[in-house]
Chain A
């Protein structure tokens, strides 16, 4: 082997070393911490931010819209959610809420971000607390711009049909506002199912959005006399009536709605890639899940929680997720979607048995092999020992 000649070839190593040394000798010794990409990443994803409530307004019979501001509100995409961390009694809970304001409203002179909460009809202790207690001037920490329930032009059709039920209207209000303001290029038809007119939330906001590219069709299942609009449920006939050409269907509403809507769309032969579902939370009653051993449903187990070198034992009800048990005990667990999907609350089960509902199992294959679970979607079936992250915030 010869590249040039023997002398030049064998001298190569010392030649490149001298060359490198020369570059070093010439280099500046001034520190230059320059990372504009890192700066942008931090602005787009600041993590927990301090939020201050600037107003609370009634936006429906049992609905309140809460407006927050912060030093710097990150951009989000219409349809995404945010979380709030709340101290309720001895518990520290984090809950997700779809953002009902538009992305463009996080900019300008008086930037804000809004969520709309509804007083839950069943056991919804955090939402109840927020609905009843939140007032102007309150402060929270939270994360904004989370979730995948948003229009992606490269994947979705330009036409969106929103299939909304109850408080599931909130992400679509955000989309409608953004389209109305010319900031989002899509055509939106909202089919919004409510029991009666009084139950419609964010009605005025929706009306203000109606334009060439935004239509709102209220569908009432129990209309009062004199209602001339659509009635019944969001059936395939009704969806067909308002569908025009290639359309992406976005579903958001109470949990029971998803299976029904998916069946309607399947019967309409809508391809899978044209259907988007918001994550739908946990089972209302996990003990009714098919493979759940119902004989243990009233048990309270010992949950040993290891964090770094520390360890403590707390009670864990069989019918509540591990995340809920941690929250009750005042142990901070970082959660976002509360649906088992996002994986931020990933923890390791060191011993004991647990239940994960198939619909809420968003785990990675290797994680399953090593008994990692998403705490918001895993339920104790015996005494358990878990390792969770050390809290930093």
Chain B
């Protein structure tokens, strides 16, 4: 038994972490014929893109909307990638973009996404909510969203094509001209009513800093994708996507092992040479893709630490770790109709959309007054047994608010926030959710840390800010490969957070490694 060998001596690439980014890396590398070993510490693939079962009912573990999917006949970036890789997921289109409810201004609007990059529907709905009498607001919003769309198209081209600045200016003028500005600065040039800006800001927390410090480029990509094409969910929850990626990678020859924790990334003379597992076993490889945050890699995983250059430490110390998540996930004992729940996702700001106040609150231990609720069944009617539904309420606190949490006060913090959320949503819906709970699971930054090992329990990598602009990230990326043979995959990479960007980040990491391999072969 103990003489058994579980690993080959050497792999072309070792991928640490079997979540979406790591699996996207593995798929890309395997498709190029590389011998890949994926090591995931949890006993499931997917990281936070997962599900769990309570009393025999499978419950989605995340907010689980996937962007960049698009319809089968005209697939967007992520669906195309899955198609190319032979990962066959059953996608269901989410009917609405979101409902936005502002308790202070009494705004309440349901926004639907357009199709094929057409923004008339969402622009019209948002304009109507602002009392647009002559169509001027509609036209202004439409123009803004169309600008977002042009930037989005440019980003999709530029992320895979290298071109000169001059050519970029000619072919992608809007991308170039907006690259230096915050979302707020660009939005302001459209002179929209405040209410329209509030509604258009709903998604902000899912990308980064408040809109006056959030790069327009990032915001534009998100708006164009969600409002122009809509989002999708896998029929068998996020686990379907994660599992199918892992299964396909294994089918293509990857060795994927679960329940295996990597302790160290071994380096010598500026080069990666393998990994060491928690049980001391060493596996050799000249290339490693690491899903752990660079903070963790550069301060405790690289062995010896003297191999970590100063630049790498400055890199991580300059960054702001992105938000984590606090989610109350419930299985309720009635159907959405019976409970009066009509919308798939709702953004709710009971005290108004002062983003700075909300953001400051997110840096505390709670309670939080900006939440997103999702009723899974409204995108996926078979998500739970007949006569029940799955309902989740989520806020995205920043890690620092949870630094004071310890064993003794954890349960209390968890309960206090969850109770606040349930009360807040019950008031908005006009139904006492507490009287309908069959199952309840509360996910906190600690839960995220426990299951994924993510640094500070963050799910959103490094925050997109004007100090860490995505365009700057792209321009400086080459100089940020501090140790030869080591690339990173995860929300902490260039494209940032979210399940779609995680896949993109994973593909990018694979490309970095493939380029290094090609270079090494001369």
Task: Confirm or deny: A259 has a beta carbon within 8 angstroms of a beta carbon on chain B.
Answer: no
The answer to whether residues A3 and B186 also contact, given A27-B314, A38-B456, A362-B56 and a CB cut-off of 8 A, is: yes
The stretch of A127-135, A171-179, A284-292, A302-310 in contact with B is A302-310
User: What sequence of 0s and 1s flags, for each residue 428-471 of chain B, a beta carbon within 8 Å of any chain A beta carbon?
Assistant: 00000010111110000111011001011100000000111101
The stretch of A199-207, A225-233, A341-349, A377-385 in contact with B is A341-349
Task: Confirm or deny: B259 has a beta carbon within 8 angstroms of a beta carbon on chain A.
Answer: yes
Whether A389 contacts B258 by the Cβ 8 Å rule is yes
The answer to whether residues A344 and B43 also contact, given A16-B180, A17-B476 and a CB cut-off of 8 A, is: yes
Whether A9 contacts B180 by the Cβ 8 Å rule is yes
Task: Confirm or deny: A89 has a beta carbon within 8 angstroms of a beta carbon on chain B.
Answer: no
Task: Confirm or deny: A330 has a beta carbon within 8 angstroms of a beta carbon on chain B.
Answer: yes
Shortest CB–CB separation between residue A341 and chain B, in angstroms? 7
Task: Confirm or deny: B163 has a beta carbon within 8 angstroms of a beta carbon on chain A.
Answer: no
Whether B313 contacts A30 by the Cβ 8 Å rule is yes
Chain A contributes a number of interface residues (CB within 8 A of B) equal to 72
Shortest CB–CB separation between residue B379 and chain A, in angstroms? 16
A74: chain B residues within 8 A (beta carbon):
407
The stretch of A150-158, A186-194, A212-220 in contact with B is A150-158
Q: How many Å lie between the Cα of A210 and that of B498 in the bound state?
A: 52
Task: Confirm or deny: A33 has a beta carbon within 8 angstroms of a beta carbon on chain B.
Answer: yes
What residue in chain B is nearest A246 (Cβ atoms)? B435
Interface centre among A3, A8, A35 (most CB of B within 10 A): A35
Of the candidates B44, B177, B318, B471, the one whose C-beta lies within 8 Å of that of A27 is B318
Of the candidates A40, A362, A369, A390, the one whose C-beta lies within 8 Å of that of B446 is A40
Whether B177 contacts A9 by the Cβ 8 Å rule is yes
A10: chain B residues within 8 A (beta carbon):
169, 176-177
Task: Confirm or deny: A28 has a beta carbon within 8 angstroms of a beta carbon on chain B.
Answer: yes
Whether B186 contacts A366 by the Cβ 8 Å rule is no
A370: chain B residues within 8 A (beta carbon):
243, 247
Main secondary structure of the interface of A (DSSP, over half): loop
The stretch of A41-49, A52-60, A159-167 in contact with B is A41-49
Task: Confirm or deny: A256 has a beta carbon within 8 angstroms of a beta carbon on chain B.
Answer: no
The stretch of A18-26, A63-71, A136-144, A262-270 in contact with B is A18-26
Residues of chain B from 80 to 107 with CB closer than 8 A to chain A in the complex: none
Whether B243 contacts A334 by the Cβ 8 Å rule is no
What residue in chain A is nearest B318 (Cβ atoms)? A27
Of the candidates A13, A38, A393, the one whose C-beta lies within 8 Å of that of B449 is A38
Whether B279 contacts A32 by the Cβ 8 Å rule is no
What residue in chain B is nearest A276 (Cβ atoms)? B55
A330: chain B residues within 8 A (beta carbon):
1
The answer to whether residues A392 and B261 also contact, given A12-B179, A154-B419 and a CB cut-off of 8 A, is: yes
User: What sequence of 0s and 1s flags, for each residue 387-420 of chain B, a beta carbon within 8 Å of any chain A beta carbon?
Assistant: 0000000000001001111110011000100110
Q: How many Å lie between the Cα of A320 and that of B466 in the bound state?
A: 61
User: What sequence of 0s and 1s flags, for each residue 109-145 of chain B, a beta carbon within 8 Å of any chain A beta carbon?
Assistant: 0000000000000000000000000000000000000
Task: Confirm or deny: B72 has a beta carbon within 8 angstroms of a beta carbon on chain A.
Answer: no
B314: chain A residues within 8 A (beta carbon):
24-25, 27-29
Task: Confirm or deny: A245 has a beta carbon within 8 angstroms of a beta carbon on chain B.
Answer: no
Whether A364 contacts B180 by the Cβ 8 Å rule is no
Of the candidates A12, A40, A331, A393, the one whose C-beta lies within 8 Å of that of B178 is A12
Interface centre among A32, A37, A310 (most CB of B within 10 A): A37
User: What sequence of 0s and 1s flags, for each residue 338-353 of chain B, a beta carbon within 8 Å of any chain A beta carbon?
Assistant: 0000000000000000
Shortest CB–CB separation between residue B218 and chain A, in angstroms? 12
A1: chain B residues within 8 A (beta carbon):
147, 173-174, 177-178
Task: Confirm or deny: B215 has a beta carbon within 8 angstroms of a beta carbon on chain A.
Answer: yes
Shortest CB–CB separation between residue B91 and chain A, in angstroms? 14
Interface centre among B310, B419, B469 (most CB of A within 10 A): B469
A272: chain B residues within 8 A (beta carbon):
333, 438
Of the candidates B43, B186, B453, B467, the one whose C-beta lies within 8 Å of that of A334 is B43
Of the candidates B185, B257, B418, the one whose C-beta lies within 8 Å of that of A390 is B257
Whether B51 contacts A390 by the Cβ 8 Å rule is no
Q: How many Å lie between the Cα of A388 and that of B87 in the bound state?
A: 23
Residues of chain A from 230 to 275 with CB closer than 8 A to chain B in the complex: 271-273
What residue in chain A is nearest B436 (Cβ atoms)? A273
A24: chain B residues within 8 A (beta carbon):
314-315, 318
Task: Confirm or deny: B237 has a beta carbon within 8 angstroms of a beta carbon on chain A.
Answer: yes
Task: Confirm or deny: B278 has a beta carbon within 8 angstroms of a beta carbon on chain A.
Answer: yes
Q: How many Å lie between the Cα of A230 and that of B336 in the bound state?
A: 44
What residue in chain A is nearest B453 (Cβ atoms)? A38
Whether A15 contacts B43 by the Cβ 8 Å rule is no
Whether A366 contacts B259 by the Cβ 8 Å rule is no
Q: How large is the interface on B (under 10, 10 to 19, 20 to 34, 35 or more residues)?
A: 35 or more
Task: Confirm or deny: A148 has a beta carbon within 8 angstroms of a beta carbon on chain B.
Answer: yes
Whether B180 contacts A44 by the Cβ 8 Å rule is no
Task: Confirm or deny: B54 has a beta carbon within 8 angstroms of a beta carbon on chain A.
Answer: yes
What residue in chain A is nearest B165 (Cβ atoms)? A13
Task: Confirm or deny: B357 has a beta carbon within 8 angstroms of a beta carbon on chain A.
Answer: no
Interface centre among B44, B260, B305, B449 (most CB of A within 10 A): B449
Q: How many Å lie between the Cα of A21 and that of B473 in the bound state?
A: 10
Shortest CB–CB separation between residue B10 and chain A, in angstroms? 12
Of the candidates B56, B243, B318, the one whose C-beta lies within 8 Å of that of A367 is B243
Task: Confirm or deny: A11 has a beta carbon within 8 angstroms of a beta carbon on chain B.
Answer: yes
Task: Confirm or deny: B58 has a beta carbon within 8 angstroms of a beta carbon on chain A.
Answer: yes
Whether B180 contacts A392 by the Cβ 8 Å rule is no
Q: How many Å lie between the Cα of A77 and that of B410 in the bound state?
A: 12
Of the candidates A12, A154, A271, the one whose C-beta lies within 8 Å of that of B422 is A154
Q: How many Å lie between the Cα of A154 and that of B177 in the bound state?
A: 51
The answer to whether residues A29 and B300 also contact, given A37-B402, A37-B446, A154-B422 and a CB cut-off of 8 A, is: no
Whether A23 contacts B456 by the Cβ 8 Å rule is no
Whether B239 contacts A364 by the Cβ 8 Å rule is yes
B4: chain A residues within 8 A (beta carbon):
307, 310, 312
Task: Confirm or deny: A363 has a beta carbon within 8 angstroms of a beta carbon on chain B.
Answer: yes
The stretch of B62-70, B291-299, B488-496 in contact with A is B291-299
Whether A37 contacts B476 by the Cβ 8 Å rule is no
Whether B181 contacts A3 by the Cβ 8 Å rule is yes
Whether A367 contacts B239 by the Cβ 8 Å rule is yes
Q: How many Å lie between the Cα of A50 and that of B496 in the bound state?
A: 40
Task: Confirm or deny: B317 has a beta carbon within 8 angstroms of a beta carbon on chain A.
Answer: yes
Shortest CB–CB separation between residue B169 and chain A, in angstroms? 6
B160: chain A residues within 8 A (beta carbon):
none
Task: Confirm or deny: A2 has a beta carbon within 8 angstroms of a beta carbon on chain B.
Answer: yes
Whether B299 contacts A392 by the Cβ 8 Å rule is no
Shortest CB–CB separation between residue B263 and chain A, in angstroms? 10
A23: chain B residues within 8 A (beta carbon):
318, 467-468
The answer to whether residues A390 and B471 also contact, given A9-B177, A15-B180, A331-B1 and a CB cut-off of 8 A, is: no
Shortest CB–CB separation between residue B5 and chain A, in angstroms? 6
Interface centre among A11, A74, A155 (most CB of B within 10 A): A155
What residue in chain A is nearest B332 (Cβ atoms)? A273
User: What sequence of 0s and 1s flags, for each residue 296-316 of chain A, a beta carbon within 8 Å of any chain B beta carbon?
Assistant: 000000000001111010000
Whether A40 contacts B318 by the Cβ 8 Å rule is no
Whether A389 contacts B180 by the Cβ 8 Å rule is no
Task: Confirm or deny: B521 has a beta carbon within 8 angstroms of a beta carbon on chain A.
Answer: no
User: What sequence of 0s and 1s flags, for each residue 348-373 of chain A, a beta carbon within 8 Å of any chain B beta carbon?
Assistant: 00000000000001111111011000
Whether B299 contacts A32 by the Cβ 8 Å rule is yes
Task: Confirm or deny: B161 has a beta carbon within 8 angstroms of a beta carbon on chain A.
Answer: no
A27: chain B residues within 8 A (beta carbon):
313-315, 317-318
Whether B5 contacts A310 by the Cβ 8 Å rule is yes
Task: Confirm or deny: A108 has a beta carbon within 8 angstroms of a beta carbon on chain B.
Answer: no
Whether B8 contacts A16 by the Cβ 8 Å rule is no
Q: Besides the contacts A21-B472, A271-B333, what 19 more A-B pairs have beta carbons closer than 8 Å?
A: A1-B147, A1-B178, A2-B177, A3-B181, A9-B178, A10-B177, A12-B471, A19-B467, A24-B315, A33-B296, A44-B407, A148-B54, A154-B422, A308-B257, A330-B1, A364-B237, A389-B258, A390-B6, A393-B279
7 A/B residue pairs, CB under 8 Å, sorted by A: A20-B469, A20-B476, A25-B314, A35-B296, A40-B407, A155-B437, A307-B4
